[in-house]
Amino acid sequence: MNAVPQERRVVTAIPGPKSQELQARRLDTVAGGVGSTLPVFTKRAGGGIIEDVDGNRLIDFGSGIAVTSVGASAEAVVRRAAAQLQDFTHTCFMVTPYEGYVEVCEALAELTPGDHAKKSALFNSGAEAVENAVKIARSYTKRQAVVVFDHGYHGRTNLTMGMTAKNMPYKQGFGPFAPEVYRVPVAYGYRWPTGAENCGPEAAAQAIDNITKQIGAENVAAIVIEPVLGEGGFIEPAKGFLPAIVKFANDNGIVFVADEIQAGFCRTGQWFACEDEGIVPDLITTAKGIAGGLPLAAVTGRAEIMDSVHGGGLGGTYGGNPVACAGALGAIETMKELDLNGKAKRIEEVMKARLTAMQEKFPAIGDIRGRGAMIAIELVKDPVTKEPYAEAAAALAKYCHNEGVLVLTCGTYGNVLRFLPPLVIGEDLLNEGLDVIEAALAQI
């Protein structure tokens, strides 16, 4: 078993010579459109550490974009997936089914909010789950329009690209986009003109007004939102916004879809981020954290909505692959056994306390936000004008990378530094990563 030493170690330049050699080969053969945050090539990873081919050990504040919440080599994930590999790699659930798929759907029914009858369908990627949630909502409502939000992110396929707000790099040159996708305002408290206090109800009223006046509620099949907006900048919709949108959806026969692909599975200190305001979505999309790094995604929801689709209408060759399902069962077992919701809450406590202290020294930190192990700082040139400071986010990330701490940026304005450590990270590593971030802030 791979037991990566849980310590930061920088022994070469970042990236080191072996990574640079691999990067040169990569540039010759991998399409230029596929980027990498940091071209150090991974040798092994686990707990809170990524070890590269040059022997550097980086503190992982990215989790492969919120995927390896249980670590990148969690014992139960590896054990169950390896055992499944020995038995069979694939039959295709649509040809001859297997138990693992059913067990994952049972776990999803148990863990997702609400005590109504639920059913699930499994897929390979987050984007595929979102696409299928829209298919299911359209089939159920016999309507076409899909409502999404400013700063939302839902994927890179044609439909989900159209549902995603940000043009560069996701959409530029890739149109035309699917029709019947409409974008409305979201409750972004930090940047709401009349202040965060008023933001929830005001933004909900604006969104609902746009829907009723510009689309017509009776034409809307689904409202799709991330309960904490991820790629758009870790925006927690201001209090009151989500419940108002859910009520509007319920009152108008619209399917409310929570895209929990990034925020779900213990990441925010709850099984699902929408639980924070007691929201029970009609459909939930999951991926990323669900399977400890193996590709799996799901749509879970009210049985009558899920079952409105004709037999054979949902599927895909690999959807719910048996190895990925085994990995998911291992990841869920780990989340329960190690109380990773509790761990995520503790990570929030440590991070927010340290970041709040840093904000007093460094006015570039305009906002600190997020929940659990989904925490970010928004960087601004001036705390009054709140002018986005993307250069600072890039410079901070570069400093951290050179010092052996892997951090990611995000946000519509590219000015958000986000922290997504594996939930199993040791508190010493967490604090050491924060020390490096503090040193980086002192440099800019």
Interacting residues with ligand PLZ (CB under 6 A) = 65, 125-127, 130, 153-156, 226, 230-231, 259, 261-262, 287
Q: Which is nearer to ligand PLZ, 16 or 327 (CB)?
A: 327
Distance CA 155, CA 422 (A): 22
Q: State in angstroms the smallest separation of the CB of 3 from ligand PLZ.
A: 28
| Cα–Cα separations (whole angstroms), residue 86 to 7, 36, 90, 293, 401 | 33, 33, 11, 19, 38
Give, as one character, the DSSP assignment of residue 279.
Answer: -
Q: Do 116 and 302 meet the contact criterion of CB atoms below 8 Å apart?
A: yes
Q: State in angstroms the smallest separation of the CB of 162 from ligand PLZ.
A: 13
Give the list of residues 6+ apart from residue 367 with CB closer than 8 angstroms, or none: 190, 377, 378
Distance CA 133, CA 222 (A): 9
Q: Which is nearer to ligand PLZ, 130 or 187 (CB)?
A: 130
Distance CA 316, CA 128 (A): 10
Q: State in angstroms the smallest separation of the CB of 225 from ligand PLZ.
A: 9
Q: Which is nearer to ligand PLZ, 259 or 333 (CB)?
A: 259
Q: State in angstroms the smallest separation of the CB of 317 from ligand PLZ.
A: 16
| Reduced DSSP (H G I as helix, E B as strand, rest coil) percent helix, strand, coil of the chain, to 5 | 40, 15, 40
Q: State in angstroms the smallest separation of the CB of 199 from ligand PLZ.
A: 21
Q: Do 164 and 171 meet the contact criterion of CB atoms below 8 Å apart?
A: yes
Q: Which is nearer to ligand PLZ, 53 or 235 (CB)?
A: 235
Q: Do 161 and 176 meet the contact criterion of CB atoms below 8 Å apart?
A: no
Ranked by CB distance to ligand PLZ, the top (closest) residue is 126
Q: State in angstroms the smallest separation of the CB of 423 from ligand PLZ.
A: 17
Token pair 């809307």 in the structure block, residue: 220
Q: Which is nearer to ligand PLZ, 227 or 388 (CB)?
A: 227
Q: Which is nearer to ligand PLZ, 146 or 217 (CB)?
A: 146
Give the list of residues 6+ apart from residue 421 with CB closer than 8 angstroms, or none: 48, 59, 60, 61, 63, 347, 373, 430, 433
Strand partners, 376: 369, 418
Q: Which is nearer to ligand PLZ, 53 or 121 (CB)?
A: 121
Give, as one character, the DSSP assignment of residue 30.
Answer: S
Q: Which is nearer to ligand PLZ, 127 or 208 (CB)?
A: 127
